[in-house]
């Protein structure tokens, strides 16, 4: 943590954070870190305590985060506003304290100090911890714990750059934290949208001349079909990084045509292993190669396995089924390797549709559907079928109204030229919009 505090001190006069209501410098961040350290210690929080940090990006949220890391607490960032989800995460992490950064309050939960082996290990090593959540198969979120000191150390040695970056992914997401820590390590300016909708983001890009936009493919498609470049000047963008879900090749082609001067970078990471540096084969390609001294990778039966120096110590409330005995994490991502040593992430293995014993990847079908000009967006999922076990179903958003019979006929004819017959959607359902999570990932149904 000391090296990041030294960076913050060195960048004292530089702009750090812009929100709708506040403009802050790195010097302001340093002052708020001092303020939060006093408030935290005055409320009895000490090294090894588990603290829920409620709120999304703000000067106070970031300052509280760094203050807790400095005293070696275990931090549980929770960015959702859904009360039920907050309560579940507080309970599953056994948080002893509850910080509400909007209200500037610190409250004791009157919870006994949890004597969990992984947390005790951090306490013995006098290291800070980070608890992140991922979806569990039973519906209960899985809580994983990281050595935060180890994660922070991975940002050492980065050179100062004058960049304006949008922070898009949320405060409790590994990708969002990566944006924050990377920005602080290089002295970049962060811009935080009050809302993460395309209109709000486009306005901020124009107003502050943002150069770097990290986002999900789902959000980028929403930005694309909104045609906001006709209302807002997005010409300042130089880099768009994307991850969190597969990028359809046809969507990337559309984006490249829409933003011809922008460099597109595919990122890769998981909550369990952290964000790994990658190299894309070209800016037009979804093929990438992991190129990170802290990351080992291999492909086993079509699945990507990772082993990193920044990976989680383990789950606090679930078995380590996704990890091998020698530390490899089975990502659940299905990949294809080409002859040049680059790989394509083609989908989640659990989302594969089984049509009479034949495997169908939803992302492959989605990419073909998005090649059709009259389809603005789509999501492909499985539906039970008495004969084949499962059938392929596509929910589509159309640019204009279309006769249902003509739609089915046109889609089928086009898909026959691109896909095997069993991959062609058996049903096409027209909808005005798709189910998208608050983290801008499509929610598959079926």
**In angstroms, rounded to a whole number, what is the distance separating the alpha carbons of residues 23 and 15?**
8
pLDDT for residue 441 is more than 80: no
3-state helix, strand, coil in the chain (%, to 5): 30, 30, 40
Q: Of 312, 300, 207, whose CA–CA distance to 270 is shortest?
A: 312
Kindly report the three-state secondary structure assignment for every residue of 58-114: CHHHHHHHHHHHHCCCEEEEECCCCHHHHHHHHHHHCCCEEEECCCCEEEECCCCCC
Comparing 173 with 440, the larger pLDDT belongs to: 173
Tokens 């790195």 -> residue = 26
CB count within 10 Å of CB 428 equals 20
pLDDT for residue 335 is more than 60: yes
Kindly report the three-state secondary structure assignment for every residue of 279-334: EECCCCCCCEEECCCCEEEEEECCEEEEEECCCCCEECCCCCCCECCCCCEEEEEE
pLDDT for res 282: 80
**Residue 271 in contact with residue 237, Cβ under 8 Å?**
no
Tokens 């996704």 -> residue = 322
pLDDT for res 66: 97
Q: Are strands 212-215 and 263-266 parallel, antiparallel or unpaired?
A: unpaired
How would you class 185 by CB atoms within 10 Å of its CB: exposed for 0-12, middle for 13-18, buried for 19 or more?
buried
pLDDT for residue 139 is more than 70: no
Cβ partners under 8 Å of residue 87, min gap 6: none
Q: How high does pLDDT run on average in the chain?
A: 91
pLDDT digits (tens, 9 = 90+) for 295-332: 999 999 999 999 999 999 999 999 999 999 999 999 99
Q: Which two tokens stand for residue 240?
A: 């768009």
pLDDT for residue 195 is more than 90: no
Confidence grade of residue 256 (pLDDT, cut at 50, 70, 90): very high
**In angstroms, rounded to a whole number, what is the distance separating the alpha carbons of residues 81 and 71?**
27
CA 127 to chain CA centroid, Å, is: 25
pLDDT for res 413: 94
Residues of the chain with pLDDT > 90, as a percent, come to: 73
Cβ partners under 8 Å of residue 157, min gap 6: none
Phi-psi region of 185 (alpha: psi -120 to 50; beta: other; left: phi over 0): alpha
* Averaged pLDDT, 257-276: 92
**In angstroms, rounded to a whole number, what is the distance separating the alpha carbons of residues 205 and 191?**
9
pLDDT digits (tens, 9 = 90+) for 341-389: 899 888 888 888 999 989 898 989 999 999 999 999 999 999 998 888 9
Bridge partners, residue 98, by sequence: 52, 107
pLDDT for res 137: 45
**In angstroms, rounded to a whole number, what is the distance separating the alpha carbons of residues 354 and 337?**
22
pLDDT for res 440: 75
Q: Of 413, 406, 355, whose CA–CA distance to 380 is shortest?
A: 355
Comparing 55 with 195, the larger pLDDT belongs to: 55
pLDDT for residue 64 is more than 60: yes
pLDDT for residue 1 is more than 70: no
Helix axes 249-258, 217-225, angle to 10 degrees: 50
Bridge partners, residue 380, by sequence: 394
* Averaged pLDDT, 90-118: 95
pLDDT for residue 91 is more than 50: yes
pLDDT for res 284: 80
pLDDT for residue 138 is more than 70: no
Comparing 281 with 192, the larger pLDDT belongs to: 192
pLDDT for res 316: 95
pLDDT digits (tens, 9 = 90+) for 386-402: 888 999 999 999 999 99
Comparing 254 with 1, the larger pLDDT belongs to: 254
SS3 125: helix
**In angstroms, rounded to a whole number, what is the distance separating the alpha carbons of residues 353 and 423?**
9
pLDDT digits (tens, 9 = 90+) for 30-52: 999 999 999 999 999 999 999 99
Residues of the chain with pLDDT > 70, as a percent, come to: 98
Report residue 314: phi and psi, to 5°: 150, 180
pLDDT for residue 151 is more than 50: yes
Confidence grade of residue 76 (pLDDT, cut at 50, 70, 90): very high
Confidence grade of residue 135 (pLDDT, cut at 50, 70, 90): low
């Amino acid at each position: 943590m000391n090296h990041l505090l030294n960076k913050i001190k060195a960048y004292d006069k530089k702009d750090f954070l812009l929100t709708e209501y506040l403009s802050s410098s790195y010097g302001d961040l340093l002052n708020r870190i001092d303020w939060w350290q006093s408030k935290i210690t005055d409320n009895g929080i000490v090294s090894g305590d588990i603290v829920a940090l409620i709120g999304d990006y703000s000067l106070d949220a970031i300052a509280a985060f760094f203050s807790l890391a400095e005293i070696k607490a275990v931090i549980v960032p929770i960015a959702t506003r859904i009360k039920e989800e907050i309560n579940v995460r507080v309970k599953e992490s056994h948080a002893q304290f509850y910080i509400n950064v909007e209200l500037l309050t610190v409250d004791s939960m009157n919870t006994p100090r949890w004597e969990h082996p992984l947390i005790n290990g951090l306490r013995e090593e006098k290291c800070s911890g980070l608890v992140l959540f991922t979806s569990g198969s039973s519906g209960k979120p899985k809580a994983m714990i990281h050595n935060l000191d180890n994660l922070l150390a991975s940002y050492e040695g980065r050179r100062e750059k004058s960049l304006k970056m949008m922070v898009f992914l949320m405060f409790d997401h590994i990708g969002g934290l990566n944006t924050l820590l990377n920005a602080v390590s290089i002295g970049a300016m962060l811009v935080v949208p009050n809302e993460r909708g395309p209109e709000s983001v486009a306005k901020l890009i124009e107003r502050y001349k943002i150069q770097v936009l990290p986002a999900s493919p789902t959000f980028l498609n929403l930005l694309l079909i909104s045609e906001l470049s006709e209302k807002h000047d997005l010409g300042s963008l130089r880099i768009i990084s994307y991850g969190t879900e597969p990028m359809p090749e046809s969507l990337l082609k559309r984006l490249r045509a829409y933003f011809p001067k922008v460099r597109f970078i595919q990122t890769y990471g998981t909550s369990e292993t952290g964000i790994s540096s990658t190299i894309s084969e070209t800016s037009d390609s979804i093929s990438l190669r992991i190129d990170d001294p802290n990351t080992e990778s291999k492909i086993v039966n079509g699945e990507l396995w990772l082993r990193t120096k920044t990976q989680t110590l383990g789950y606090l409330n679930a078995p380590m089924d996704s990890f091998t005995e020698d530390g490899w994490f089975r990502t659940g991502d299905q990949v294809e390797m080409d002859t040049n040593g680059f790989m394509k992430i083609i989908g989640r293995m659990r989302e594969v549709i089984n049509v009479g014993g034949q495997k169908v990847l939803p992302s492959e079908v989605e990419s073909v559907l998005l090649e059709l000009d009259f389809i603005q967006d789509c999501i492909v999922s499985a539906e039970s079928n008495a004969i084949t076990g499962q059938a392929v179903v596509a929910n589509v958003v159309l640019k204009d109204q279309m006769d249902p019979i003509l739609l089915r006929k046109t889609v089928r004819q086009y898909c026959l030229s691109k896909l095997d017959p069993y991959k062609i959607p058996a049903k096409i359902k027209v909808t005005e919009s798709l189910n998208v999570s608050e983290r801008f990932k499509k929610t598959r149904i079926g």
